[in-house]
Structure 1
Amino acid sequence: MGAWGFTTFDNDDAADWLDELSDHQSLALVRETIAAVLEVEPDEEVDAPLASAALAASELIAAAIGRPSGAARKQEELMIWISKMRPSPDAALIADALSAIDRILGPHSELRALWEESDDYAAWTDDVTQLRARLAF
């Protein structure tokens, strides 16, 4: 899985997504990443790399609306990008992020299945659930 911790940014896929974000001047990558999760058929599995990227995108949204996690605040490149671009996620993007998180926490999620096999499953689930709560309004 390439993870060194249970929070959203503690894995290679989220780090790669953050690197890609620096090449973008808008929320386009965020929208594309979230949409890619929602495009997976309901009975098909959302793969772990996509799920990790979508959680990172959702953390960006939460930070952009003034509800960053401690883990997001520690991501210097993320916080610089937000302060520089001043993104303004709309209600539809936030709703899509919530739906994507629900898919990632659901039964057809490779990432959830991988975490279920670890000792940190409860901590990971709690972290993702807190992200969802920060996005819900």
Structure 2
Amino acid sequence: MGAWDIGPFGNDNAADFAGELDDTAPEQREDLVRAVFGTAVDEDGEFDELDAEDGDRIIAAAALVAAQCPGGTPIDTAYGPEQPLPLFGPETRRLAVTALTGVLSEDSELAELWDESDEGPAWRAEVKRLRAVLSAA
């Protein structure tokens, strides 16, 4: 796991996602974020098995959406996107909540990896905090 911090942009996959967002046309950035959330569920709305890379990207995308919500934390890291982001709508927030639930599920490789580390409880608390901010918005 290429992670150096439990924060949403504390890993290689999230930093790569930020670069991908910066390279995406402004009018397509929300679609990219929504597509990332879509990796958590299958066509029937059931949770898919999530690999660690998808989980990292979901958390990063959710942090960007949550940053626009009351109680959200601004993204202030060199590893986050540099380009402006759109104002995310309510449907994107709902998708983020669902995707974060998938990240925390027993079918998540990322959760399994974090649970094997000493930082697992702190990581879970951070993901749950993001989900709570998004749920309340």
TM over 0.5: yes
- TM superposition score normalised by structure 1: 0.85
| CA-based RMSD | 2.1
Distance in 1 between residues matched to 2:8 and 2:43, nearest whole Å: 21
Structure whose residues are more often helix by fraction:
1
Extract unaligned runs of 5+ from structure 2.
none
Compute the displacement of 1:99 (Å): 0.4
Q: Distance in 2 between matches of 1:125 and 1:57?
A: 16
Instruction: For residues 10-29 of structure 1, give each alpha carbon's deviation from its aligned partner in whole angstroms, at most 9, with x where no partner exists.
Output: 11100110110101213121
For this pair of structures, how many residues does the alignment match? Answer: 132
Are 1:98 and 2:102 matched, yes or no? no
Q: Deviations over 1:58-106 (max 9, x none)?
A: 0111113354426x2234753x43xx34x12121111111000001101
Q: Give yes or no for contact 1:65–1:88 (8 Å, CA) kept in 2.
A: no
* 1:46 matches 2:45: no
| Structure 1 portions without partners, runs of 5+ | none
State the alpha-carbon separation in 1 of the partners of residues 94 and 38 from structure 2: 11
Structure 2 residue aligned with 1:12: 12
Cα distance, 1:104–1:40 mapped onto 2, change above 3 Å: farther
Q: Determine the C-alpha separation between the residues in 2 that align with 1:44 and 1:76.
A: 27
Query: What secondary structure, in the 3-state scheme, does the structure 2 residue paired with 1:73 have?
Result: coil
3-state secondary structure, aligned to 2:107: coil
What amino acid sits opposite 1:12 in the alignment? Answer: D
CA distance in 2, matches of 1:125, 1:53: 15
Which residue does the alignment assign to 1:120?
A: 119
Aligned residue type for 1:47: D
- Name the CA distance, whole Å, in 1 between partners of 2:80 and 2:117: 29
